[in-house]
Amino acid sequence: MSKQVAVIGLGLIGGSIALAIKNHHEDARITGFDVNQNQLQLAKALRVVDETASSLEEAVQSADFIMIAAPVVQTEHILAQLSEYSLKSNVIISDVGSTKHSIVKHAKSILDPSITFIGGHPMAGSHKTGVSAAKSHLFENAFYILTPDQNVAEKDLNKLMDLLRGTKATFVELEAEEHDYLVGLISHFPHILAASLVNFVSESNNNQRFNVARFAAGGFRDITRIASASPVMWRDILLRNKEVLLQMTDDLKLELDRIRNYIEQEDGDKIFDYFTDAKDFRDGLPVRSRGAIPAFYDLFLDVQDQPGVIAAVTQKLAGEEISITNIRIIETREDIMGVLRISFRSELDRDNAKAVLERDFDTYVDDK
């Protein structure tokens, strides 16, 4: 199978898709295009793509696969442009957008029926943007949702999955509308809540005589990390998943009223049950299995809570070229040993790190 691949939009996801394709198909020739010249040049310099094109038309003219990785409203504009070009007759077009219904509908209405379009959404990412944040293993262990309509031939779907095999993701087929409801619930709506919470705190901050934000501790930071993501990407997502998100916003108001009543009535039992239900569901989420929540592999280390210890640990890991995704001291008090939690992208990285660090530290893996 020849593999001329055009990747349109060379940001975090386009870059990661390009790297993942190259992982499994060394022979694939990847041409990149981005409206942002900076990203385009950077993608070439970082060898994320083999070559860059100076126009969309140039990028796609001899492509066997076209992967669109732009914000979702832009994706519709790109599809409209593609419908005017002469493309290879057997080209397969896909996208990575976080919404699916409007894109799939748009593709169907605008592309020649002989062209194969398969909607896609790799369910992993980050609040970071741009090609410099791209990683070949970003989608490892994640679900990769595909939304082929009934006209898509099995062999074309298989060709696309084969192209994307280097993502090491698990492919799942869904109807586009099912996708938008599901992802609305576990990704889009939580994003709205994170941003609302930050704005709420920021506005409250203005009315205080001290700086509230300075006191923001782990809990606030954990629940609001995603509010640092790209406003362009999220604006487009809200515009294209409007009905689902309107309904969820209304439903959440009822949920807030419920806990508000329990507080007002000082109903300790109900409040306890409320948190217990939430804890049970949250604790039951698969930790290492594939899901919208990226799997992290944690290693715990007993360390002396003293200056330089984190540097010593990271140096040892760097020496073995083991990357970490997060590092944090938890439950430290002056009179006890600190516990360092280090997170890794893969189980293999975690196991290798354990082997390196257990020579000097007591290490633990939480296997529950």
Ligand X SMILES: O=C(O)C(=O)C[C@]1(C(=O)O)C=C[C@@H](O)C=C1
Under 8 Å between Cβ of 61 and 51: no
Token code pair at residue 152: 């898509």
Give the other-Cβ count within 10 Å of 316's Cβ: 16
Give min distance, CB of 110 to ligand NAD, in A: 15
Looking at residue 68, the DSSP 8-state letter turns out to be: E
Q: Does 39 bind ligand NAD (CB under 6 A)?
A: yes
Token code pair at residue 37: 């010249």
Select from 20, 21, 78, 176 the one that contacts ligand NAD (CB under 6 A). 78
Give min distance, CB of 298 to ligand NAD, in A: 21
DSSP 14-59: HHHHHHHHHHH-TT-EEEEE-S-HHHHHHHHHTTSSSEE-SSHHHH
Q: Does 132 bind ligand NAD (CB under 6 A)?
A: no
Stretch that binds ligand NAD, among 93-101, 163-171, 204-212, 274-282 (CB under 6 A): 93-101
Which among 231, 348, 245 has a CA at the least distance from the CA of 295? 348
Select from 5, 6, 7, 8 the one that contacts ligand NAD (CB under 6 A). 8
Looking at residue 20, its amino acid is: A
Select from 28, 67, 93, 96 the one that contacts ligand NAD (CB under 6 A). 96
Q: Does 36 bind ligand NAD (CB under 6 A)?
A: yes
Q: Does 174 bind ligand X (CB under 6 A)?
A: no
- Write out the binding residues for ligand X, residues 235-294 only, by CB under 6 A: 292, 294
Which among 281, 37, 14 has a CA at the least distance from the CA of 129? 14
Q: Does 184 bind ligand NAD (CB under 6 A)?
A: no
| CA distances in angstroms from 87 to 135, 141, 366, listed in the order given | 29, 33, 52
Token code pair at residue 208: 């205080």
| Beta carbon nearer to ligand NAD, 96 or 357 | 96
Please name every residue paired with 342 in a beta bridge, in sequence order, or none if there are none: 299, 327
Q: Which does 187 bind (CB under 5 to 8 A by kind): ligand X, ligand NAD, none?
A: ligand X
Select from 4, 5, 14, 64 the one that contacts ligand NAD (CB under 6 A). 14
Q: Does 167 bind ligand X (CB under 6 A)?
A: no
Q: 270: burial class by Cβ within 10 Å (0-12, 13-18, 19+)? A: middle
| Residues in contact with ligand X by the rule CB under 6 A | 98, 123-127, 187, 226, 229, 292, 294
Q: Which residues bind ligand NAD (CB under 6 A)?
A: 8-14, 33-36, 39, 69-72, 74, 77-78, 96-98, 121-122, 125-126, 129-130, 230, 233, 237
